[in-house]
Amino acid sequence: MNYAYFRPEDRRLFRAVDLPAAFPNTSWPPDPDDNALSLHGLVRVIPTPIPTTTPGSCVAQGAPALDEEAGIWRQTWIERPMSPEELAAEFDAARRTVIADISADRDALLRLGAPYGGKRVQVDERARADLAGLALAAVLAQTDPAAWSDGYSTGWITMDNTRIPLPTPAEGSALAAAVGAWYAAVIQAARNAKDAALAVVLDPLDPAISRAALDASRTGAAWPPSS
């Protein structure tokens, strides 16, 4: 919570929304000027960047400090150890972020398509249904060659709008199997990475180690080759 105003007399901090209740006889604009503030003994607090904290610590706004040379009051920050509840809440939020990032990594990889024969084959829901039809046609063609129609033998259309020729059912079956296996490997790698993230336990005595293990569950994901 950032406070924009300070009363040195009693060292009280105020937000803009606090002013109407604290001084009900004054009509406060959204950004009062220094003259209006001075009538109530208030000064403007100049914001300063929130400092970087060490793992397991957080910062809270402290009492403003007077910069005598500049004649202004500057925001200060106080670092303190997190409570067990704060540590747990922060770690749970970090875990959710890591899991969401793993999902994003998975989706980005799937959008690239499965590598096959120097090309990329689409693996969205419709494409997977088409691949299932290809695999079925290849099986049926073992007893009924007519099942392997020109629609398949002409070639599978890849993501760059070129074809991978499939003159025989065996080649169609190989494509469907390879692309399906790649898709399954991506899904399983994402699930394994998420399970690893869920398995990390917060060590309140060394939260940095726990956070590193959490991050490693994403960076160490065993994705299949993308090319």
Instruction: Show me where the domains of the chain are located.
Output: 5-81, 84-219
Asked if the model's pLDDT at residue 17 lies above 80, the reply is yes
For residue 154, give both structure tokens. Answer: 């002409």
Question: CB-hemisphere CA count at 13 Å for 84?
Answer: 3
For the stretch 26-35, pLDDT in tens is 999 988 999 9
Alpha-carbon dihedral of residues 207, 212, 218, 223, nearest 10 degrees?
Answer: -150
For the stretch 163-175, pLDDT in tens is 999 999 999 999 9
Q: Shortest CA distance to 194 belongs to which of 221, 224, 225?
A: 221
For the stretch 180-195, pLDDT in tens is 999 999 999 999 999 9
* pTM higher than the cut 0.85: no
Q: For position 186, what pLDDT does the model report? A: 98
Q: For position 53, what pLDDT does the model report? A: 86
For the stretch 38-61, pLDDT in tens is 999 999 999 999 998 888 888 988
Spatial contact of 156 and 134, defined as CB atoms under 8 Å apart? yes
pLDDT, average across residues 120-129:
97
Asked if the model's pLDDT at residue 1 lies above 70, the reply is no
